[in-house]
Amino acid sequence: MIKAAYLRVYVPGEGSDDEEKQSEPRLREVSEYGLMSESLNDGVLVTTWNDVRYICPRNPRLRLLEGLLGFRNAYPGLTAELLIPEEVAERAAVELGALRDREPDVKSHILSSPWHVPLRWFSAFDPDERIVVERNGSSDVLYRTTVAQADGRLTRALVILQNAGFQDAVLDQVQELHNWVESFDGTDLLELDYGGVAELFSDGALALDETAADIQASLFALEAGNLDEASDHYGKAAARWAHAQSLTYMN
């Protein structure tokens, strides 16, 4: 089973604990587009943060279609055709268009990443927002903040990277993340969840994982013009995730 990390936006609202349990990912559903790691039934994830109850709409069909087309577009030419045949992509595009015609305001509240957490995700969080939790007898890591705070940090990260002369390939990925985050209300909750990816690390390694601190320190150093210090901090974060990220390409 593919292990994935998640970036979720929760909105204030009501939901039952039953909805939360029914929405736990599991390898159990086959669609016309392949094997899915979670149910395709609509539902919500539910959590409580700072004494406020939040819900995260799952929109699994929307995420399936967007993910399939995004994955194919990431591999142009013959590789894309081998991974996802053109007729499958065209069918998915038609269905996605029809879905958006029916629900013009619909958008995904969940981003997922197989086998690793993209380092750019950490730029939305402060190191002090890190939480280590126990799930099913093992450790997991969460970061939680408001959308407004995340929006401000991503805006700052973009300015720093632009001023440092980073290429468009790097800037575009951070800009895409920023565009997604700022499309939500500032009072919403943004959560980074290591999810199944946490299982690739020992409990001790998770307890000592300070990736967000390294990413923020790298950005501060870049802003100050200290390229060696920025490279050192980023290198520590990249090395910490090198093994997990390598599994993405192996699969």
On whether residue 84 sits in a domain, the answer given is no
- Taking 70 as the threshold, does the pLDDT of residue 30 lie above it? no
Window from 26-35, 62-71, 212-221 with minimum mean pLDDT: 26-35
Query: Does residue 145 sit within a domain?
Result: yes
**CA–CA gap between residue 88 and residue 101 (Å, rounded):** 20
User: Is the residue at 64 inside a domain?
Assistant: no
**Is there a domain that residue 83 lies in?**
no
Does residue 191 or residue 135 have the better pLDDT? 191
Total-model pTM? 0.82
Q: Which residue has the higher pLDDT, 121 or 101?
A: 121
75 occurs within a structural domain: no
What confidence tier does 22 reach under pLDDT thresholds 50, 70, 90?
very low
Of residues 154 and 250, more confidence is placed in: 154
- Domain interval for residue 155: 4-59+107-250
Decide if 98 is inside a domain.
Answer: no
pLDDT band for 35, please (50, 70, 90 cuts).
Answer: very low
Average pLDDT of the chain is: 84
Give residue 25's pLDDT: 46
Residue 188: CB partners within 8 Å, gap ≥ 6?
9, 10, 11, 12, 54, 146, 147
Say what the pLDDT of residue 34 is: 54
* Mean pLDDT (whole number) for 217-234: 96
Q: Does the pLDDT value for residue 24 go beyond 50? A: no
More confident residue, 74 or 110: 110
> So what's the pLDDT on residue 117?
94
| Closest to 41 measured CA to CA, from 9, 11, 64 | 64
Per-residue HEC secondary structure of the chain comes to: CCCEEEEEEEEECCCCHHHHHHCCCCCCEEECCEEECCCCCCCEEEEEECCEEEEEECCHHHHHHHHHHHHHHCCCCHHHHHHCCHHHHHHHHHHHHHHHHHCCCCCCCEEEEECCCCHHHHHHCCHHHEEEEEECCEEEEEEEEEHHHHHHHHHHHHHHHHHCCCCHHHHHHHHHHHHHHHCCCCCCEEEEECHHHHHHCCHHHHHCCCHHHHHHHHHHHHHCCCHHHHHHHHHHHHHHHHHHHHHHHHC
Number of domains in the chain: 1
Mean pLDDT of 15-28: 48
Does residue 65 lie in a domain region?
Answer: no
Answer yes or no: is 128 within a domain. Answer: yes
pLDDT of 41 reads 65
> Which band of pLDDT confidence, cut at 50, 70 and 90, is reported for residue 79?
low
* Percent over 90 (pLDDT), the chain: 53
pLDDT tens digits, 114-133: 889 999 999 999 999 999 99
